[in-house]
Chain A
Amino acid sequence: MAKVVVVDREGVEHVLEGQAGWSVMEVIREAGLPIEAACGGCCACATCHVYVDEEHLAKLEEPQPDENMMLDEAFQVQDNSRLSCQLKFSDALDGIKVTLAPEF
């Protein structure tokens, strides 16, 4: 099974089983990790903000304008910032490591 590695805000790593076709946000939320995802995944807030490891960042599709616009409402945005609700998980992303951005 393909894995998603999530680093929480205390720096603890959690290795989760990724479900192909789910968003990374859904994988994180199902595992009960603290991700707010207030809008439920329709790219209308910025509360599923994560930082993606360099290796997997390159494998992701570029963010749509919607996602970039919502990232404007996040704080501490970096070059590897993404909204995890917009990252569709697939086996090709096996081992993707995301760090939960600070709560805001």
Chain B
Amino acid sequence: MSEDVIKTDMVIIGAGPVGLFAVFEAGLLGLKCHLVDNLDKIGGQCAELYPEKPIFDIPAIPRCTGQELVDGLMEQCKPFEPVFHLNQQAESIERLDDGSWRLVTSEGTVLEAPAIVVAAGAGSFVPRRIPLPGAETYENSSLFYAVRKMEQFRGKHILVAGGGDSALDWVLSLQPLAASMTLVHRRDDFRAAPDSVEKMRRLVAEGQMRLVIGQITALAGRDAQLESVDIKTAAGGQEEVDCDTLLAFYGLKMELGPIASWGLNLDRNLIEVETEAFETNVPGIFAIGDICTYPGKLKLILSGFHEAALMCQKAFKLCRPDEKLVFRYTTSSTDLQKKLGVI
């Protein structure tokens, strides 16, 4: 097991804009970073919630989209070779004898570092679960919020809920395997790619699957086995759809997750920090960006950038206790310019 442990200077939880800028600031000080994020991509809310929406309040960038900001930050921190561990959640944390931290993710990645930085925004993105009585009893046996192995759905009577790309993609991929396929969506208009929608409509026209316009109102089954789903149709009627598998894709929501139980002082799901180094009540664990709170805190990306820079000064002392840090500018320091690879 020990050979699988990754040792680094800083583990950053959250690969959003503030986490990425922390990589840059840490890099200037010679610190290496690993990042953990539950999304399948880099960029946090900027990439997941509003990649195409404009941002106007980044200093010296009068206008950019969420995705452009992420792309710029990636380019800026690239010389420091950050390592990303995506599709996994920071799960548990433990202090080692030498004072550093061991963090284990939901995928079993083990990371050790003197500094842990929580840059988790509003928490990690997790699928929205169906808020109906009994839904949790079916979860992972006949109700799923993600598809890991397609084969497990062969021969099943599948109901897919949702109107986005995830819903339509899985309808198209699983329909050939399924005993029957039904898609339920609240209106006859889909945000998924037009090409997928067209393919789905063709299957419906050919009688290979059904499309029901309406909303799920109740689940029925026995033990952990779903047997049917009640749907209130948009036309005002009620329909019962027999199915043994429900795949629900209602998008993602953000929740603090396991971090809530790490012993950090919280104020309404935000992590309390001091404002010199943005360290939490637990030495060596920092919190920056939207997830941290202190008197006067503003949830702005630019505030997160500032917090990242100050945090790195303290993190440096933890990572390099025997070295002295000299404050330099990228404009004039050949040392920093060498680190950036520009000379």
Q: Which A residues are closer than 8 A to B by beta carbons?
A: 38-40, 42, 44-47, 68-69, 71-77, 102-104
The B interface is mostly helix, strand or loop, or mixed, namely loop
Known A38-B254, A44-B53, A103-B131; 16 more pairs at CB < 8 Å = A38-B49, A38-B122, A44-B50, A46-B251, A47-B253, A68-B187, A72-B164, A72-B185, A72-B251, A73-B128, A73-B250, A75-B130, A75-B215, A77-B215, A104-B128, A104-B250
Q: CA–CA, A65 to B130, complex, Å?
A: 24
Closest to B251 in A: A73
Selected from A40, A72, A103, the residue in CB contact (under 8 A) with B187 is A72
B253 touches A45 (CB 8 A): yes
**Could you give 5 example pairs across A and B, Cβ below 8 Å?**
A39-B45, A42-B50, A72-B163, A75-B131, A76-B215
Indicate whether B162 reaches chain A with its CB closer than 8 angstroms.
yes
The prevalent SS among residues of A at the interface is loop
Residues on A with beta carbons closer than 8 Å to the beta carbon of B206: none
User: What residues make up the interface of B, taking CB atoms closer than 8 Å to A?
Assistant: 45, 49-50, 53, 122, 128-131, 162-164, 185-187, 189, 191, 215, 250-251, 253-254, 299
Contacts of B130 in A (CB 8 A): 75
Residues of B close to A76: CB separation below 8 A: 131, 215
Q: How far is the CA of A45 from the CA of B128 in the complex (A)?
A: 11
Tell me whether A72 and B299 are in contact in the complex, defined as CB-CB below 8 angstroms, given that A44-B49, A47-B253 are known contacts: no
Bound complex: CA A40 to CA B66 (Å):
14
User: How many angstroms between the C-alpha atoms of A36 and B123 in the bound complex?
Assistant: 13
In the complex, how many angstroms separate the beta carbon of A81 from the nearest chain B beta carbon?
A: 10
Residues of B within 8 Å of A104, CB to CB, are 128-129, 131, 250, 253
The residues of A that contact B164 with a CB separation of less than 8 Å are 72-73
Measured CB to CB, the closest approach of chain A to B43, in angstroms, equals: 13
Closest to A79 in B: B234
Query: A69 and B53 in contact (CB under 8 A), knowing A38-B122, A38-B253, A76-B215?
Result: no
Q: Which of A102, A103, A104 has the most CB of B within 10 A?
A: A104
- Chain B contacts of A69 at CB under 8 A? 191
Q: Is the CB of A102 within 8 A of B50?
A: no
Instruction: Establish whether residues A72 and B191, one from each chain, have CB atoms under 8 Å apart when the complex forms.
Output: yes
State the CA gap A69–B299 with chains docked (Å): 26
Contact A68 B50 (CB under 8 A): no
Q: How far is the CB of A74 from chain B (nearest CB, A)?
A: 8
**How close is B127's CB to chain A, nearest CB, in angstroms?**
11
Q: Shortest distance in angstroms between A70's beta carbon and chain B's nearest beta carbon?
A: 8
Find the B residue at minimum CB distance from A74: B250
CA distance A44 to B187 in the complex (A): 19
Which chain B residue has the least Cβ–Cβ distance from A71?
B186
In the bound complex, CA of A103 to CA of B129 (Å): 11
- Cα distance A72–B185 in the bound complex, in angstroms: 8
A85 to B131, CA, bound (A): 22
By a CB distance below 8 angstroms, the chain A residues around B162 are: 72
| Residues of chain A within 8 A of B163, CB atoms compared | 72
Chain A residue numbers with a CB within 8 Å of B49 are 38-39, 42, 44-45
Whole-angstrom CA separation of A55 from B242 in the bound complex: 39
CA distance A82 to B182 in the complex (A): 27
Chain A residue nearest to B215 (CB atoms) is: A77
- Taken together as a complex, chains A and B put the C-alpha atoms of A90 and B240 apart, in Å, by 43
Q: How far is the CB of A43 from chain B (nearest CB, A)?
A: 8
> Please, how many angstroms separate the alpha-carbon atoms of A39 and B125 in the complex?
12
B131 touches A102 (CB 8 A): yes
How far is it, in angstroms, between the C-alpha of A22 and the C-alpha of B208 when the chains are bound? 49
- Given the complex of chains A and B, what is the CA–CA distance between A41 and B280 in angstroms? 29
